[in-house]
Structure 1
Amino acid sequence: MISRRTVLGLMASAFLPGTVRAGDLEPEFLQPQLKARALPALAERLPKSPRALNLAAMGRQPGQYGGTLRTIIGSQKDIRMMTIYGYARLVGYDEKLNLQPDILESYDVADDRVFTFKIREGHKWSDGSLLTPEDFRYCWEDVWLNDELSQGGLAPALLADGKPPRFEIVDPLTVRYSWDAPNPDFLPKLAAASPLSLVLPATYLKQFHKKYQDPFRLAGLMKENRAKKWTLLHIRMSRQYRPENPELPTLDPWRNRTKPPAEQFVFERNPFFHRMDENGRQLPYIDRIVMNVSSSAIISAKTGAGESDLQGMGIDFSDYSFLKDAEKRYPVKLHLWKRIQGSRLALLPNLNCADQVWRGLLRDVRVRRALSLAVDRREINLAVFYGLAQESADTVLPESPLYRPEFAKAWVAHDPDQANALLDEAGLQTRDDDGLRILPDGRPAQVIVETAGESTLETDALELITDHWRKIGIALFIRTSQRDIFRSRALGGQIMMSMWSGIDNGVPTADMNPYQLAPTIDDQLQWPLWGAHYLSHGKVGEAPDLPPVIELMALLKRWNASTEATERAEIWNSMLSIYTDQVFSIGTVNGTHQPVLASSRLRNVPDKALYGYDPTAYFGVYMPDTFWLGES
């Protein structure tokens, strides 16, 4: 660990032959502020014990300051990618998905019930104000426990056995959260791509809180910012995950300098960021990141035209040939990372769909198994993924310690005869003159599969599956709609079946929450109403009434109360077994490749890596603050 004294030592020795020069420790980008004394020197900006990275030991090159990196996003909302990519967390994952302190100097866990967090002495927010226990207290008492600001109640990770923690400030650098029951999900949620919020810049935000602000001044701030309620004002000004307020102090490597609406967002280096390299240089290396807003439909075209220096979002495997060809025209390099979803494309039968006949059929495991057996995954792999993917059920990947071959093979063998037999057994023996099966109410068996229409891979695969299902007497029709409409239609029961990716985290360890295998959130497309019921603590949606799903919920409850790694692994095993055998998601292939295009000047970008939202945070666990721009 490098201390502030070491930084001062590096600066003092900067004039000796063969050492780091003093000027090299300060980014050129900050020189105007330093000369104007608007910023303190580096040793005063860093915590007393910064997080020191030995890049050479990590197989990377220590870098140099400077430059602007361009990337493309599909909408203004996607500035949240900077929070994901920056991946500054109280506790975060390393590349091997082990948890470690990041913003925190250290943490201690007793029985998965008592979590003690130590703050780095002298750690500052991006505006230079100190990070203190008051920032944790404010977030807990004045935001989470404020019924007006947190109308949805506490986040599930803040509850153990349905009860919130006791919060205490132990000393000027230490806070503690204590539960009577185990809360094994607490640390993983702090390390997530969209992290559980525990700390807010209290000094800045109190001006927008009715408890601390004069009512007349608060009314003026509401009028100035066109907010009808003080709560809406506070929520807007405090939003960390989607950092739309340029004035909000941050702990991330880069801070937003652009107020929406805009077609280009500029993020500049945080002069108080807490990480440094082995040469005493403060991270991030790159001064500025420019996010250009574009239509999602043309991100791949713009990327292939040399308009991005680092791009994973908005491009897909179907763009591989075009992007590979861009290497001949521009100073760029195309990498292929491995996607971590349990299935790259999965069919999700909506067990909560409003059509009562189809609801009953889709809840019959024989129908789900038949639909899965009818799919020719080999043909999809060859035609859509050039044979480079793995044909598999929607389950964990071999990179996970929880992987079992039998989960991957569950109901994926292409067997139309068995599929036909299962549908006959489920009561769909009668067919019309076109060979389509007749539903109990006399309609022909027509399945409408809806997608968000964001990838040609989906329609390419669905056109093949249309032929596969026709052979078992099921007609498939494709409908596309915009993502927000698509999700609201699913929650309203209007979607019969959808195509999306499979389970998000295909590389879990036993210590990661198996919530994705049970209805726990309202955007799980195979059971959105059951997920909404869990998420709202029973206030909306419906309670699950299907025995295997009830069993999954019971197992999840057991995991949430578990303190033993072996017991958690056993629970994961049971849940994966039920999930794959019951075919709650019809997987196709996994282990597919994600193109990542990077400028040939950009150093420290891994050639091979895992790509996904959670737990890898796309580029996040590979620490983009250590990427730097060299010569082409």
Structure 2
Amino acid sequence: MNSLRILAGITAGLVASTAFVSSALAFQESPILTEMVEAGELPPVDERLPVNPTVIEAVEVGEYGGTWQRAFNGPGDRWGATKLMEERVLKWAPDENGTAELVPGYIESYSVSEDAKEYTFTLLEGLKWSDGHPVTTEDVQFWYEDVFLNQEILPSIDPTFAPGGAPMEIEIVDDRTFTVKFAAPYVYFLQILAKDSTGDPSLDRPSFLFPKHYLSQFNNHYATEEELAAAAEEFNVESWTDLWGSRGAATAWWFNPDLPVITAWKIETPPPADVVTMVRNPYYYAVDQEGNQLPYIDRIEHRLFQDPETLNLMVAQGQIDMQARHIQSANYTFFRENEERGDYHIDAGLSANVWSLVPNHNTEDEVLGALFADATFREALSIAIDRELVNELAFSGLAEPRSASPITGSPYFREEYEQHWTDYDPDRANELLDSIGLTERDGAGFRLRSDGQRLTLVVEANDPVHSDSLELLADNLSDVGIELLPRIIDRTQWDANRENNSFQVQWMPFDRLSYVPADPRRMMGSDSYANQYFLWYETSGQSGIEPPADHPIREIFAAWDEASQAGTIEAADAAVNELIGDFVEAGFVIGVVGEEPVINIVANDFHNHREGLVEDDIFRGVGFSQPQQFWMEQN
């Protein structure tokens, strides 16, 4: 299996351009699209593609056709589908050795000023939305002025797009070129773009681009109050603002088949259908090395499953063509034993996740909050866990006991971070808990809180497959007098509980541990252990909860402020290393096991999936493998 390798340094003054297919090559298309052209339903492929399409180097040139069969576990499972088809100005992609590098997406070229304050991008000439409408910088301007700066849609601006508190500015140069400007140098901006979009109003998150010709009808800068109210009624939401956002009824591709996109596929049948379908985008802007318009695969079907056993049966019966999501390493032996029966093989990758207990440092339970804020209590929790046992029994021995810290091979990896508070020592854990006054116990042997209640931690997970892990953790914690109560809930509720600050502890695959500055927010508490503190930081105190004056998370915030305004990559990396060190040494998150193999189920007639790639949210999971160039044998 490959270890992590990243080409991520950005040099000031950089000028880069997209690789173009030779103009001497004739463009080819799917037979399905040829039939539509011949029927007069579509213009010819040359008129649908940009003048010089982006080239995605396929592992091997494939053939058109097929329906890719996958599985999903409900409307909240949107990210599995999203990561198949996200588009960015720049994207992370593997080179021939599997090294992560930045490659242009829907742009012809880009440049970075000498002082790393200005980033200029030029869109592909002839780029089109999935409905055939031209993509221009008018869409960029709409996104920036009418969405990004529209406080009714986005009340606060993400700090990764407002370094030092100063939001980025956009200057429209012409109908294809725009410049992003910052008040200070921002050496990580391209890597952040490759991971994330600029803002959160749409699930496909197409950096900078929002189809003005469609979305303006839902925007208060263009539509009247009556029109907005009618749109909210049509989509069955309470307010027009509910039409926007990652769960927006109108702006999220996952829910709205009418939304124009630039992605390789578009939604056809949205959830809550039992079979969610996606179909190819006839205007997709990329081709392979021989001029074949991508994607190769015509359709993707996501079939609903209710429990892990059902998904395992689907795999064994050959009903999954290619999938890693929800495929658990604990079932590795089962998947190996059924390869011949299911006519598939396993391609192993490397997960950058660390399965962790994530205490809510902003919990409304004041007694628990005081315990979570106590580093002695957090250390006791951590060393009470027998990570080797959890690995052997719940992860088939395939993972690695470790803390929540950068993975092996990351430029930010430190062995001392990986081993922080990971030695199993229940005797010392008991001593630490006694030392902070948790000496009283009830008749069952569980410790009592300062208010006389049993010391109980309700730990939420979003899939029944985690029951084994939680049972083992419960046994470990009971040995030191702490009761762990597992609670299995669906993904939508699990996510909402962090957003609403209504959880005690969650069992989470703590991620973004490969190239940390591409998304430092998880370590900064966002959508994890201190979402309310992060919200306070993000909104400059307008929302959220202010951390105490001496709280160590303030040092983490300060380190990112320094990194995001540093004049050189060396100075920025020094600040990022401070951020990581502060996070790990504080032990805010209790890492248990990580770096497990990613079990990719791949049908034997499914091609161009590469084994050994690192999978992390920063690289967009399976999107790192460039699904547009996957293909299936046709009988």
Fold shared per TM-score above 0.5: yes
For residues 345-494 of structure 1, the aligned pairs below 5 Å read: 345-431=355-441, 435-444=445-454, 446-456=455-465, 458-489=466-497
1:199 corresponds to 2:209: yes
Give the SS at the match of 2:619: coil
Task: Compare 538-547 and 209-218 and name the one that shifted more.
Answer: 209-218
Contact 1:429 1:437 in 2 (8 A): yes
Contact 2:384 2:424 in 1 (8 A): yes
Give the SS at the match of 2:164: coil
1:163 corresponds to 2:166: yes
Structure 2 counterpart of 1:532? 535
- Alpha-carbon distance in 1 for matches of 2:225, 2:380: 64
Give the SS at the match of 2:411: coil
Change (3 A) 1:495 1:207: closer
Structure 1 counterpart of 2:60? 61
Task: Compare 268-277 and 198-207 and name the one that shifted more.
Answer: 198-207
Structure 2 counterpart of 1:46? 49
Give the number of aligned pairs. Answer: 602
1:168-218 deviation line (CA, Å, top 9, x unaligned): 211232111212123445433432266644111122333444544588877
Unpaired runs of 5+ residues, structure 2, are 1-17, 200-206
Structure 1 counterpart of 2:514? 507
1:560 corresponds to 2:564: yes
1:396-452 deviation line (CA, Å, top 9, x unaligned): 1112111010001111111223223322322334556655444434444x2223122
Alpha-carbon shift at residue 132 of structure 1 (Å): 0.9
- Alpha-carbon distance in 1 for matches of 2:230, 2:189: 38
1:173 corresponds to 2:176: yes
Alpha-carbon shift at residue 41 of structure 1 (Å): 2.2
- Alpha-carbon distance in 2 for matches of 1:247, 1:492: 30
Give the SS at the match of 1:367: helix
Contact 2:138 2:212 in 1 (8 A): yes
Contact 1:74 1:299 in 2 (8 A): no
Contact 2:512 2:520 in 1 (8 A): no
Structure 2 counterpart of 1:248? 259
Structure 1 counterpart of 2:8? none
Q: Which amino acid aligns with 1:100?
A: V
Alpha-carbon shift at residue 481 of structure 1 (Å): 3.4
Q: Please, what TM-score do these two structures have when normalized by structure 2?
A: 0.87
1:10 to 18, 21, 25: 25
- Alpha-carbon distance in 2 for matches of 1:270, 1:256: 10
Contact 1:449 1:499 in 2 (8 A): no
Give the SS at the match of 2:618: coil
Contact 1:54 1:278 in 2 (8 A): yes
1:369-401 deviation line (CA, Å, top 9, x unaligned): 122112111222222223222111111111211
2:522 to 508, 511, 516: 516
Contact 2:197 2:208 in 1 (8 A): no
Unpaired runs of 5+ residues, structure 1, are 12-21
Contact 2:88 2:197 in 1 (8 A): no
Alpha-carbon shift at residue 296 of structure 1 (Å): 4.8
1:105-161 deviation line (CA, Å, top 9, x unaligned): 1211223321111111111222222211111111112222334333x2333333232
Q: Which amino acid aligns with 2:301?
A: V
Q: Which amino acid aligns with 2:600?
A: V
Give the SS at the match of 2:110: strand
Alpha-carbon shift at residue 77 of structure 1 (Å): 4.4
Alpha-carbon shift at residue 35 of structure 1 (Å): 0.6
Task: Compare 387-396 and 415-424 and name the one that shifted more.
Answer: 415-424
Structure 1 counterpart of 2:141? 137
Alpha-carbon shift at residue 476 of structure 1 (Å): 3.1
1:599 corresponds to 2:614: no
Q: Which amino acid aligns with 1:252?
A: T
Contact 2:264 2:295 in 1 (8 A): yes
Alpha-carbon shift at residue 166 of structure 1 (Å): 2.9
1:280 to 280, 283, 291: 291
Alpha-carbon shift at residue 102 of structure 1 (Å): 0.9
Contact 1:448 1:479 in 2 (8 A): no
Structure 2 counterpart of 1:15? none
Structure 2 counterpart of 1:314? 326
Change (3 A) 1:441 1:208: closer
Alpha-carbon shift at residue 220 of structure 1 (Å): 6.4
Change (3 A) 1:194 1:315: farther
Alpha-carbon shift at residue 238 of structure 1 (Å): 5.0
- Alpha-carbon distance in 2 for matches of 1:346, 1:191: 26
1:437-470 deviation line (CA, Å, top 9, x unaligned): 44434444x22231225143x3322322333333
- Alpha-carbon distance in 1 for matches of 2:620, 2:49: 25
1:610 corresponds to 2:614: yes
- Alpha-carbon distance in 2 for matches of 1:468, 1:214: 59
- Alpha-carbon distance in 2 for matches of 1:375, 1:232: 42
- Alpha-carbon distance in 2 for matches of 1:491, 1:209: 25
Give the SS at the match of 1:615: helix
- Alpha-carbon distance in 2 for matches of 1:28, 1:168: 41
Alpha-carbon shift at residue 39 of structure 1 (Å): 2.2
- Alpha-carbon distance in 1 for matches of 2:57, 2:496: 47
Contact 2:407 2:595 in 1 (8 A): yes
Q: Percent identity between the aligned chains?
A: 29
Give the SS at the match of 1:336: strand
What is the RMSD computed on CA atoms of the aligned residues?
2.8
Task: Compare 476-485 and 598-607 and name the one that shifted more.
Answer: 476-485
1:583 corresponds to 2:587: yes
Task: Compare 481-490 and 535-544 and name the one that shifted more.
Answer: 481-490
Contact 2:93 2:102 in 1 (8 A): yes
Give the SS at the match of 1:98: strand
- Alpha-carbon distance in 1 for matches of 2:573, 2:102: 17
Change (3 A) 1:210 1:555: closer
Task: Compare 243-252 and 192-201 and name the one that shifted more.
Answer: 192-201
Q: Please, what TM-score do these two structures have when normalized by structure 1?
A: 0.87
Change (3 A) 1:144 1:579: closer
Change (3 A) 1:483 1:265: closer
Contact 1:300 1:314 in 2 (8 A): no
Mark the structure with the bigger radius of gyration.
Answer: 1
Q: Which amino acid aligns with 2:334?
A: F
